[in-house]
A = this chain, B = another copy of it.
Amino acid sequence: MDSLAVDHLIRKLDSCSELTRSERIAMRKAEPEIRRFGAHEELVREGAPAGGVSFVIEGITCRYKLLRDGRRQIVAYSLPGDMCDLRIFILERADHSIGSVSSGAVAILPRTVLQNLTRKYPGVLHSLWCVSLAEEAITREWLVNVGHRTALERAAHLICEYFYRMQAVGLVRDASCEFPFTQAELADSLALSPVHVNRVLMQLRRAELIRFESHTLHVLDARELQSIAGFSPHYLQVAHRLRGSAEIARALAENPRQPARRR
C-alpha cells in the first residue's frame, strides 16, 4: 500500500523530468505515512511548524491564506499526485494553511527522507524543481484570472483548468469527473461572493456548457467553455516536451553517488 503511494509521487516527478531507474528504486524504499481526511477539514494551519512533505494520493486538497477579517483566498488545488506544499520543505513553518476539499488521503514523507533522496539523486532534485515551476505557472494564471477576467470567465476558466488537470491524472470518464467543491470554496478561489458564484454557474448551466449531478461535473461543450474562459492549456503543459531537462537528468545519472543498476 505504501509503495503504491510512492508510485504516485514517482509518476509525478517522472512526468516533469525523467527519473532514472536507480532513482525510482531508491524512492520506492521510502515508506510514507498515510493520513486520511474527511471533506472540508483543516489539515495544516498557517504558522504550524513544518512537518513532512506530503502529496495527495486520493481526493483533493487546497492551499489558502486567511486575511485579518477572516476572508480567505484559496491559492491552489492539489489533485492526486500533486504535492500539498513543497515550500514546506524549505521553511520553518507553514506560510499558509492547507485544507481538504473532498475526503481522501495524503502520503507524508519525513523531510529527512526527501533530503537524503535529493542529496544522493540530483535528478530527484531537478524533478522537484520542475514541479515547483509548474505550480508557479498555475498560480500566475490564477492571478491573471482573478485580476483581469469577469466573473463568468473566471468560473469557466477554473472549471477548464480543473477538468484538464483531472484528465491529466486519468480521473475523467465520459467527459465527467468528481466535483466536490462547495460554491463557497469556489468563491474563495475566484475572489467572488458565494452568491455571485451561484449566479455565474447557473449561467453556464443554462447555456448547456456544463451540468452538475450529485457531486459530478459533466462538461457538455468543452470548446465553448474554453472560448468563454479564454482558456488555453499551454501553461499546464510543463510535463511534456521539456527542453534540455532530459539531458540533465541523464547526465546526472551517469555519475550517481549510489551504485545504480543499469538495464
- Which A residues have a C-beta under 8 Å from some C-beta of B? 50, 63, 65, 67-68, 71-73, 75-76, 86-87, 89-92, 95-96, 111, 115, 118-119, 122, 125-126, 128-130, 132-133, 135-137, 139-144, 146-149, 191, 230, 234-235, 238, 241-245, 247-248, 251-252, 255, 257
Number of copies: 2
Q: Please determine whether B95 and A235 come into contact, CB atoms closer than 8 angstroms.
A: yes
5 contacts between A and B (CB under 8 A): A67-B149, A90-B133, A90-B242, A132-B136, A147-B191
Which residues of the partner chain B approach A245 to less than 8 Å between Cβ atoms?
90
Q: Please determine whether A144 and B67 come into contact, CB atoms closer than 8 angstroms.
A: yes
Q: Please determine whether B251 and A119 come into contact, CB atoms closer than 8 angstroms.
A: yes
* One of B130, B146, B234, B248 near A143 (C-beta < 8 A): B146
Q: Please determine whether A92 and B136 come into contact, CB atoms closer than 8 angstroms.
A: no
Q: Given known contacts A71-B148, A73-B148, A118-B122, what 10 new A-B pairs fall within 8 Å (CB)?
A: A63-B140, A65-B141, A67-B230, A86-B133, A90-B243, A95-B235, A122-B122, A132-B132, A136-B139, A139-B143
A245 CA to B111 CA, complexed, in Å: 11
Q: Please determine whether A95 and B146 come into contact, CB atoms closer than 8 angstroms.
A: no
A148 CA to B146 CA, complexed, in Å: 10
